[in-house]
Amino acid sequence: MAAACASLCPHQLGAEVSFDPNRVDCWIFDLDYTLYPPACGLFGQIDQRMGLFIANLLGCDATEARRVQKMYFHDHGTTLAGLMHYHAIDPREFLDFVHDVDMSVLAAAPRLAGQINALPGRRLIFTNGDRPYAEKVLQALGLDGCFEGMWDVIAMDYKPKPEPSAYRSLIEAFGFDPERAVFVEDSARNLPPAKALGMQTVWLDCASEWGDRAKDDAAIDLVIDDLPQWLELVCAELAGSAALR
C-alpha cells in the first residue's frame, strides 16, 4: 500500500487494522527523522562522527569503521549498544562526541509546533538519543514547549528501542494506558514492541536508508510520509468528532 499521508485510512495487509485518533490520549513521537526530515543532514553529521569515534577506538580506516558501525546498529539496536557490548566504552563519552554537531541545519517548524500543541492529551518524546542532544534538537525546531516529557537512551538504561524493556519502562515512568497511546516512528523495526503492548502505531516512511529494515506489516496501523500533513488531518478529524458530541 502506498504511504497514506493524505488519509487516515488503515494500512491493510492481510488483516483489518486501523488508526483511530479518537481513542488516543497519549501521543508518543520518535525524534530523529520523525520530527525533522533526513534531507537537512543533521543525522548525517552524527553518522560521520560515529564512524570517526569507531576508527579512533579500533585504529581502523573509515571503511572498516562504517562496517562495524552498521553491524552494531543492526545487531544491537544502536551503534552505542554494540560498542558497550563488545568494547565496554563509556556511553557518555560516545554520546557527547557524536552529538557535537551543527544544529543550524535545522529550520524552525512553527506549523508542526502548532499541530502538536493542538493534540489532546499527553505528548512524549521516545528517543534512542540522549536528553541533552534531544533538547537541542527540539529547541532548534521550536518544539521545546510541545512535550510533557522524554524517555531517552539513558532512562532506558542503555537498552534502546526495539528492546521490549525500553517500552515497558516508558509506560511505567509516565503511567499511561498503552491501549490509549499511539507511537509515531520512522524506523519500522521499532514498532512491533509498541504494537505488542497495545499501542496504535504509525510508520513515517521518509525513504531513509534503514527505515524499512525488519518491517513487520502486521505491527503497522498506518503508513504516512508527511508528518505535518497527517497531523493536520488528525486535528481536523478530532475537531469534527468533538463538534458532533
Asked if pLDDT for residue 17 goes beyond 60, the answer is no
Domain ranges of the chain: 21-36+107-244, 40-98
Dihedral Cα 148, 239, 142, 37, nearest 10 deg: 100
Q: Which residues contact 122 (CB under 8 A, 6 or more apart)?
A: 25, 26, 27, 148, 174, 176
Banded model confidence at residue 15, pLDDT cuts 50, 70, 90: very low
Q: What is the pTM of this model?
A: 0.89
Architecture of domain 40-98: Orthogonal Bundle (1.10)
CA neighbor of 29 nearest in space, from 158, 146, 177, 176: 146
Q: What is the mean pLDDT of residues 52-63?
A: 97
Mean pLDDT across the chain = 91
Question: pLDDT tens, 114-168?
Answer: 999 999 999 999 999 999 999 999 999 999 999 999 999 999 999 999 999 999 9
So what's the pLDDT on residue 243? 56
Banded model confidence at residue 244, pLDDT cuts 50, 70, 90: low
Q: Report the alpha-carbon distance of residue 35 to residue 224 in Å, rounded.
A: 13
Question: pLDDT tens, 64-86?
Answer: 999 999 999 889 888 999 999 99
Asked if pLDDT for residue 8 goes beyond 60, the answer is no
Banded model confidence at residue 208, pLDDT cuts 50, 70, 90: confident
Q: Which CATH superfamily is domain 21-36+107-244 in?
A: HAD superfamily/HAD-like (3.40.50.1000)
CA neighbor of 128 nearest in space, from 85, 171, 76, 93: 76
Q: Which residues contact 214 (CB under 8 A, 6 or more apart)?
A: 188, 189
Identify the residue with better confidence: 13 or 54: 54
Identify the residue with better confidence: 243 or 41: 41
Q: Report the alpha-carbon distance of residue 139 to residue 134 in Å, rounded.
A: 9
Banded model confidence at residue 214, pLDDT cuts 50, 70, 90: confident
Q: Residue 241 corresponds to which cell in the numbers above? A: 468528532
